[in-house]
Amino acid sequence: MRGRNKPWAKDFINEHQNLLYDKNIYDNREKTLEIGIGKGDFIIANAKANPDKLHIGVEMNTSIFAMAMKKVVNEGLNNVLLLNILAKDLFEFIDECSISSIYLNFSDPWPQNGYRKRRLVHPLHLEVFEKLLLDKGKIYFKTDNLPLFEMGISNFKTRNYDILFLEYDYQLSNDDYMSEYERKFRMMNIPIYRAIASIDKNKLMPWNEAIK
């Protein structure tokens, strides 16, 4: 996702360091992780609906990250913390076996074949997610891009994930929320694809036997 540079972004982030997630600060709440929060609509709605959980949001674009942070500040939420990092750097900031759910909402599909490894459903990322998740943790995967969706489902099955939900014309459920992208796509009548996969760590094959 790209966005215009916001000259105020870095100063705003520096002024709100209290909203940056720090794994060294103990917090016993159940933790969810959204990777690619965009402008923050989904994580804010999820946090309001689940006030007992700590919702961690990751966004690599600094200007868009600051826009999401401003929304969190304006909403006065105390159960959302954010990270302005790349997905590949998650291990530096989040402990293994600490996350109950990972949300992948309308991730960049990186359609060029040369960029396959950048897709968040590529095995290189799934290996990271499996380590971050608790046993029986879930990945919630939602996209408007059919090739990306099919790649994700194929890799989930190869990794022996339990597919709990699979829908190729997904209509929003009561316990799910829209990002700004999903709202736009639905207004354009673009189909939405969604899957929920659970990870039983006893069923996973060693990574040296998995697709790469």
User: Which residues have a catalytic role annotated?
Assistant: 108
Q: Sign of dihedral through CA atoms 115, 120, 122, 125?
A: positive
CA–CA separation, 129 and 90 (whole Å): 9
Helical segments of the chain, H only = 9-15, 41-49, 62-75, 90-93, 123-132, 146-158, 180-187
Tokens linked to 39: 């402008």
What residues does 138 pair with on adjacent strands? Answer: 101, 198
